[in-house]
Chains A and B, each alone.
Chain A
Amino acid sequence: MIKKGYILEGDVIVVDRDWTELDEFVKDFLGILKDYSDYLIVSGFVSIATGRTRGTEDVDILVPVMDENKFRDLFSELSKKDFWCYQGDEVDEVYGYLQRIENIRFARKNEMFPNIEFIPINKNRKAKYFEFTHSQRIKIKDFEFKIPPIEFEILYKEIILAGDKDIADARHLREFFADILSKEKFKEYEPIIREELK
């Protein structure tokens, strides 16, 4: 019997497929992060998780800036659970990046890719903060995680990122989710995203 690629269960998108190793990597990282912070997965992994067939090196995750003690605990837990940070082994040094709102990256020990691009956000990053506070839940088997509204993700890729890979990702999302996309949401999100160009 032929089954659809996804269904909606209430407001959760359920993608009907098996996990990949990339999913398991993200699941393991979120399993730790969620004990310390809220988060939002954005960009390439959103497209790949929903069927875009392309390689990727990184998984982008928005995380609100957290206080130093909480980050210290998170960093220690990640290290215990076999992740390493590109930027350094000393938490004081790495926390400086977050204070400057600069991204850091984590991979599994003895591996370079895939990596988590840990993107600190605060209320000054308006478009990012908006998508962070308007998340969409998505599930692959029992792995549930948060992504931006699909319409927001499409427009962000088309208007802000706009590289060949991003345009292809946006086309994939437009087609794969054609049944559920909302014109009203596109209209609502476009000015918020265009603000980022100013």
Chain B
Amino acid sequence: MKPKTNLDYVVLYARALRENNKLFEQQKKLIEAQLIGSKSLFRKMFGSGEKFKIGARKYLRGRGLIK
């Protein structure tokens, strides 16, 4: 199957992963890169401790994620 759509790639990757667990190494890198980026961004935005919570809650209210 020659992949054409995003879903085709999802299927192709899942099939390859089922047969070869080495591909999990790439997945780990991608997931951790996202987490590191997110941590760094929000630390810069809101600092730490109580200041972080106040800033974060204000941001979350703005996005409608909390009341």
A residues lining the B interface (CB < 8 Å): 2-6, 15-18, 20-22, 48, 51-53, 55, 57, 84, 86-87, 89, 105, 109-114, 167-168, 171-179
Residues of chain B at interface, number, CB under 8 A? 40
With both beta carbons as reference points, the residue of chain A lying nearest to B45 in the complex is identified as A112
Interface residues of B in 14-41 (CB under 8 A from A): 14-15, 17-28, 30-32, 34-35, 38-39
Do the beta carbons of B28 and A17 come within 8 Å of each other? Answer: yes
Shortest C-beta distance, A44 to chain B (Å), equals 11
Within the complex, what minimum Cβ distance (angstroms) separates B11 from chain A?
5
Interface centre among A16, A110, A174, A176 (most CB of B within 10 A): A110
In the complex, what's the smallest C-beta–C-beta distance from B37 to chain A, in angstroms?
9
B15 x A4 contact (CB < 8 A): no
Q: Known interface pairs A53-B26, A84-B53. Does A5 touch B32 (Cβ–Cβ under 8 Å)?
A: no
Asked if A89 meets B31 with Cβ closer than 8 Å, knowing A4-B21, A17-B21, the reply is no
| Known pairs A4-B19, A86-B57, A110-B48; A22 contacts B35 (CB<8 A) | yes
Closest to B61 in A: A86
Pick 27 A–B contacts, CB within 8 A, sort by A. A3-B20, A3-B21, A4-B21, A5-B19, A5-B21, A5-B23, A16-B24, A17-B28, A18-B24, A20-B27, A20-B28, A20-B31, A51-B17, A51-B24, A53-B26, A86-B60, A110-B43, A110-B48, A112-B60, A113-B35, A167-B7, A168-B7, A172-B10, A175-B11, A176-B15, A178-B15, A179-B18
